[in-house]
Amino acid sequence: MDTLTTILGQNMVFLNVITDRFQESGFLGMTLVFLCLLLAIFFTVKAFSKLNADTPTFLKYKKLVNQIVLLGLVISFLNSLLGLIQAFDALEATGGADPAIVAGGLKVTLLSPLFGLLVFVLGYTATFILSWMRKAEASKVAK
**Four-point Cα dihedral 129, 134, 135, 139, nearest 10:** 140
Q: Domain range for residue 47?
A: 2-142
**Are 72 and 120 in contact, with CB atoms under 8 Å apart?**
yes
pLDDT for residue 122 is more than 90: yes
pLDDT digits (tens, 9 = 90+) for 17-32: 767 766 676 778 889 9
Predicted local distance difference test score (pLDDT) of residue 45: 95
**Are 65 and 123 in contact, with CB atoms under 8 Å apart?**
yes
Predicted local distance difference test score (pLDDT) of residue 19: 73
pLDDT category of residue 76 using cuts at 50, 70 and 90: very high
Structure letter (DSSP) for residue 100: H
Residue 97: left (phi > 0), alpha (psi -120 to 50), or beta? beta
The one-letter amino acid code at 79 reads N
pLDDT for residue 55 is more than 80: yes
Domain count, the chain: 1
